[in-house]
Each structure stands twice: as structure tokens, then as C-alpha cells.
Structure 1
Amino acid sequence: MQTSKELIDLLDLKDLGENNFSGNSYTIGSPHVFGGQVLAQAVNAAYRTIPENRFLHSLHSYFLEAGDLTVPINYHVAEMRNGGSFSTRRVTASQHNKTIFIMAASFHQKEDGFEHQAILDPTIKQPEELLSWEDMLTQFGDLLPKSTRSFLSVKRPIEFKPVRVPNPMDPKDLPANEQVWFRLKGNHKNLDNRTKQEILTYISDYNVLNAAFNPNASAHNFGNTQTASLDHSMWFFRDFDFNDWMLFSAESPNAFGARGLAKGNIFTRDGKLVASFAQEGLLRPVRK
């Protein structure tokens, strides 16, 4: 999967009738289904039951079981409420007769109101100054740990450029934050708002837990720590497009008891705040 069209096709579920849908999976290098894929497919399912004049403004979800890459995921949408301004849906995802994921999502008709937003750091390095994951693989592939090299080798429809690149040969503790520029590959002109939100939801599950890892990066990494997304929430604010780089900016206020919390914002390159997110993940040291 290398282009936006392939990603859109992956997220576009098969309609089984009576608010039931089905979707397939694509690996990002993990033995289990990528959480961002399940999130985005659940958003696709919910949107199928929503009037055209309403847009997703928030979602709150829990990952209950690891997804199986080899069989379809079934999604059921329950219509919880249709009010004068808001519609609420509950989405349940299942495989092998077990619930693997649940999500509550709320949709709002457009209204006018007052505004303020967080400010994008004007001193942050720009994408042209940074190496992409593909660049890192090309330049340092032979020096990278096998697990990192394998992860970076997977073809993706998104290009990522981290603002800070740690040295895997000399790990050090780092500040509890993570900033990554990202850009969608392929032809992505004239995407509707629903599709853009589904894609952004998919991308939002990348890079999140790095912020929680960083303060203990000298001793802990994805190779010696069991990790999994436990929950994921998003709030959508302003319209946007994928014609330029966007910034994923996360910070971690806490890690304790084998769990780490990360939260943050997604900005356009010109500083428009389009979404915020929060996720708690499992960070369980592997006992030898």
C-alpha cells in the first residue's frame, strides 16, 4: 500500500445491510492489525449512517483485543441519538465472534461561534530540513537494529519526517514529547471532508506512544517493551487538506504502572489547528 487511493480503498467498508459493514486489513509491520486502521474503518462505518450535513467532531474508543490480519473485521453501528444539532453513534468491531474494539462518535452540524486555538511553535524545523523514514532506511539501513529496519521497510501511503531522530546505537533519555511532519502520498485532490477525517484518524495512531517512551529511552524501547494501544480519542475542529505537510505534535504527562499517556495536536503547515488527540498505551517491560 503506497498511495492515498489504496488507503481510501482500504478504509471504504463493504455494506452488509442493517448497519453492518466489513473491512480487510493491511499490515504496517506488526503481527496484528494496526489500531489506526480499525479507528478509521469504524469512522467510515459510522459516517454511513449520518446525514450529509453533519461532520465528526469527536470520538472515544477502546482497543479490547488484538486484531487478526488474516480475516475481515465486522463493524456494527448502533444509532444512539439523532438530535437537532448532534448525532451519536456506537460502533462495535468483531472477529472470531469476539468484540475487539468499541467506539462512541459524535457528529455536529456546522455552526458559527467564537474562536481561539493553540499556537504552532514558529521555531520548529521545517520538513525540508529533515530526513524521512525512507531517507533513514537508505542512509543508515545497515546500522539500524533489525526490528527498526524491518518496520521502516514497509511501504506506506504516508511520508513521515520526525523533527528529532534519536541515535539507536547510543540511546539516551529524551524530553517527553514527539513532533513529526507527515504528508499523504499520491493524488489526493478534491477529497471530501468525511474521507479526509478518516485518513487523519488513520494517521493519528502513528508515533503517539513515542512521547511516553522518550523519558526512559536509554533503557526501554519497542524491542524490550510490550506495547499496545489501550484507548484513543480525537477531537476535530477545522477543515484542512493534504496538499502540504502537516505536523503531529505530542507530549506525555505521565507513565506509570505499565501504562503511558500521550496527548497532542495536529496542525497544518501554516499553523491551523485541525485536531487534537489523546491515547493511553500499554508499556510493559519484557521480563527475561
Structure 2
Amino acid sequence: MSTANRAPAGDDHNRAPAGDDQLTPILDVERVEDNFFLGIATPEGRGRSFGGQVIAQALAAAVRTVDADRPPHSLHAYFMRPGDATKPVLYRIERDRDGGSFATRRVVAIQHGQPILNMAASFHVEEAGLHHQSDMPDVPGPDGLRNEQELAEAFEDKVPRAYRNFLKMKRPIEVRPCEERPPYFDTGPMERQAVWIRTRTAMPDDTLLHRVALAYASDLGLLGASLTRHGISFATRDMMIASLDHAIWLHGDFRMDEWLLYDMDSTWTGGARGFCRGRIFTREGRLVANVAQEGLIRQTTPKES
């Protein structure tokens, strides 16, 4: 869990940590015992862990226990405690089932002797079948759009300094919003938000690795869709904002080092929680993933100065 009204120092589930541009080492896990794997700490990390990294490492650990011909097609995760970005994470795998075409795994992420995340993941052999998909929204392509760092510079007078400094840090995922607005700043209500994402450097030709990388990137700003409906943002004061859960459905192969469109909206907020959905398309319009997340969006009492 995380609060978005603090300085963005790698302590928010919806922001990627600073560090090496290379994403692959962050996603790798080391086998330390049967069904136990260790994921590295956040490079140059501090504060709370980025939720996408914990989800991705948990999926990477589960992938290591399943035959390669069964790629992951879905996962459902719950954040239980804030992670410590300065420490590695231990992942314990339960091999629940290996059937004729499906396999299921449960993963517990552990730090300081306590679980910080529970995740269930399902794997499926590739099969032929019926096909349909929703259409990709009509948005500008990535070419010519400015990324978050460039937008922060362009709107320097409207973006808080802490967020400008955060956006200047090296991060493994480049984000280009389709609508040019000041990043992480209140600029009026929006029905939906769409961004183009890809890794900053090329990745190996490993289809499973690219699925794990998408799990990492899928937590980038999704909860913000429930905020922008109300004309507020992660920079809004007197808000407690935290990811509570995260679910992904993967529909086919893709490359994370090529542009993907992440289209996000929020269908409901209430009771200090917000529900958000995301669809991820290739540049050619193929739907490769659906994402869902609920988060805490609690209005807090302003502190007296």
C-alpha cells in the first residue's frame, strides 16, 4: 500500500522506481530452494516498493515452476502490506495443479517474515478457438508525442518540484500520454486516460519474459483513472491513495520493447475506494491484455499548519 500525497521517492504502487534502464534484471528471480525464489531490491530504491515490481517478480517465480509450453494467461493479486524497496523479496510457490491443459500456482511474497502480497496465477497451453476483441480507441500514435519527462519540463510551473525531480530519474519504462497535460497534476476531470508504453531498451526474445514485463508496467498509473474522473491526481493534497489488488488477463504474445497502448478508465468510485480497468493494445490494434484494479482513494482531514 502507498500514499500518493507524499514525495514520489519510489514509494507508490502506481509509479515505477528509479534505477537502471534495463528492466530484465529487475524481473529476474533466483531459485534458493524448491519452490522458493528471491527477487532483487529496487535498484536505487527507497521507501515503499513499486507494486508492479512485486507482481512481476511473483509471476516470474511462478513461471519458473511451469512447463514453457504453458504461458501465463491470468493472475489475481492482493497487496497486504507495503513492501520495502531497499530489501529483496522472498517468493514461496504452491504448485496447486498441473492438468492436461491448465496449470495453477499460488505465490506469497514475503519480507521481514510477513506476507506483503498474495497472488494466484493460471497457465494454459496454446489452443485454437473462436476469436473476437474490442476495438482500439482512436488516439494519436506514439510518434511525435512527448513523454512524461518532457511534459514535466513543458509544464514546469504546474508540476510540483518533487514530481519533476522524480520524472527526471531513469526508469525502465517510457510513458507517452496521448493527451498532453501536466503529469501528476490536477487539470480537470477526464473520462479516461490513454498512454503509450514500452521499455527504454531492447529485451531478449523470450515471450514469457515479455509477459512478466507487462505485469510490471500494468501497475503504472492505473489507479489514477479513478482520480481523474473527479479532476484530482496523485499530487492532490489530503488524499490517501493505495493499490489494494491487481488482476491481469493476457491474450497473446507481444513485445514490451515495442509501443503498446494502455487505455484506462474507472467505472465506479465509492466508500473511499476506486475501481479501474485497463486495455492494452499493440500498435496494430491487437488486444493483448485486460487489467483491473481497486484501490484506496481516501480523503483525509487537512493537517493544520
**TM-score (normalizing by structure 2):** 0.87
Tell me the CA shift for residue 165 of structure 1: 3.5
Distance of aligned partners of 1:250 and 1:218 in 2 relative to their CA distance in 1, 3 Å threshold: closer
Residue 163 of structure 1 corresponds to 178
Superposition map of 1:81-160 within 5 A = 81-121=97-137, 123-141=138-156, 143-160=158-175
The answer to whether structure 1 residue 75 and structure 2 residue 91 are counterparts is yes
Residue type matched to 2:25 in 1? D
Tell me the CA shift for residue 40 of structure 1: 0.2
Distance 1:215 1:53 in 2: 41
Q: Which runs of 5+ in 1 are unaligned?
A: none
Q: Which runs of 5+ in 2 are unaligned?
A: 1-18
Tell me the CA shift for residue 231 of structure 1: 0.3
Query: What is the SS of the residue equivalent to 2:91?
Result: strand
Residue 7 of structure 2 corresponds to none
Query: What is the SS of the residue equivalent to 2:201?
Result: coil
Distance of aligned partners of 1:184 and 1:168 in 2 relative to their CA distance in 1, 3 Å threshold: closer
Distance of aligned partners of 1:286 and 1:154 in 2 relative to their CA distance in 1, 3 Å threshold: farther
Please report the RMSD computed on the Cα atoms of aligned residues, expressed in angstroms.
Answer: 2.1
Residue 51 of structure 1 corresponds to 67
Distance 2:28 2:185 in 1: 42
Distance of aligned partners of 1:219 and 1:181 in 2 relative to their CA distance in 1, 3 Å threshold: closer
Number of residue pairs matched by the alignment: 284
Tell me the CA shift for residue 243 of structure 1: 4.7
Tell me the CA shift for residue 126 of structure 1: 1.6
Q: Which shifted more, 11-20 or 130-139? A: 130-139
2:189 to 171, 174, 188: 174
Distance 2:61 2:82 in 1: 20
Distance of aligned partners of 1:184 and 1:282 in 2 relative to their CA distance in 1, 3 Å threshold: same
Distance 2:202 2:42 in 1: 20
Distance 1:120 1:28 in 2: 36
Tell me the CA shift for residue 32 of structure 1: 0.5
Q: Which shifted more, 217-226 or 76-85? A: 217-226
The structure richer in helix per residue is 1
Tell me the CA shift for residue 286 of structure 1: 2.6
Distance 2:184 2:40 in 1: 37
- Answer whether contact 1:220 1:285 (CA < 8 A) is retained: no
Q: Which shifted more, 272-281 or 125-134? A: 125-134
Distance 2:85 2:234 in 1: 27
- Answer whether contact 2:185 2:233 (CA < 8 A) is retained: no
Residue 287 of structure 2 corresponds to 273
Distance of aligned partners of 1:265 and 1:143 in 2 relative to their CA distance in 1, 3 Å threshold: closer
Residue type matched to 2:23 in 1? L
Distance 2:143 2:234 in 1: 30
Tell me the CA shift for residue 172 of structure 1: 4.1
Tell me the CA shift for residue 162 of structure 1: 0.8
